[in-house]
């Protein structure tokens, strides 16, 4: 389940991206009841993109933002309680790591779902049912 963390340069202090990825990953696993799952944990991957302020916009004007985006199978983040809880946690993590400087209303969290069968583990395309069975073994 790839996480893409995109930040305007300066939103977080240098090096805090690692903490952000770690904590956001932990929160995702927690909210899905998968903390410590041996199948799921190594399959939560992340990439961090840090962009200059001249490349981040709101309403067509430069600004400093933070974006937390997951790409997941459709069964992830499908419960309202999980959505509310995780989105709050992710926002709190970025806000805290920014030293309270990044406004909460400039921290964005979203989820993009793949089609059933459009996911893989270990190089094998898997349906939601197959993924669920693999995760249940962890």
Task: Please report, for the domain that includes residue 38, its CATH number.
Answer: 3.30.429.10
Beta-bridge partners for 47: 4
Give the integer Cα–Cα distance in Å for 128 and 123: 15
The SS3 of residue 107 is: strand
How many separate domains does the chain show?
A: 1
What pLDDT does 50 receive? 98
Structural domain span for residue 66: 3-136
CB 91 within 8 A of CB 104: yes
Helix orientation angle between 80-97 and 16-31, rounded to the nearest 10 degrees = 160
What pLDDT does 128 receive? 92
What pLDDT does 120 receive? 85
The count of C-alpha atoms lying within 13 angstroms of the C-alpha of 32, restricted to the half-sphere facing its C-beta, is 24
Name residues whose C-beta falls within 8 Å of residue 54's C-beta, 6 or more positions apart in sequence: 62
What pLDDT does 90 receive? 98
What pLDDT does 121 receive? 84
70 phi, psi to nearest 5 deg: -105, 145
Would you give per-residue pLDDT tens digits along the chain (138 residues)?
899 999 999 999 999 999 999 999 999 999 999 999 999 999 999 999 999 999 999 999 999 999 999 999 999 999 999 999 999 999 999 999 999 999 999 999 999 999 999 888 888 899 999 998 988 987
Stated pTM of the model: 0.93
């Amino acid at each position: 389940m790839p996480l893409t963390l995109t930040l305007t340069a300066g939103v977080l202090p240098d090096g805090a991206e690692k903490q952000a990825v770690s904590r956001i990953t932990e929160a995702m696993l927690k909210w899905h009841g998968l903390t410590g799952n041996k199948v799921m944990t190594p399959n939560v991957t992340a990439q961090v993109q840090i962009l200059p302020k001249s490349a981040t916009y709101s309403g067509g004007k430069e600004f400093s933002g933070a974006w937390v985006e997951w790409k997941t199978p459709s069964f992830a983040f499908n419960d309202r309680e999980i959505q509310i809880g995780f989105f709050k946690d992710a926002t709190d993590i970025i806000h805290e790591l920014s030293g309270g400087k990044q406004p909460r209303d400039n921290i964005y969290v979203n989820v993009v779902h793949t089609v059933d069968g459009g996911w893989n583990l270990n190089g094998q395309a898997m349906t939601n049912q197959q993924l669920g069975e693999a995760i249940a073994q962890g």
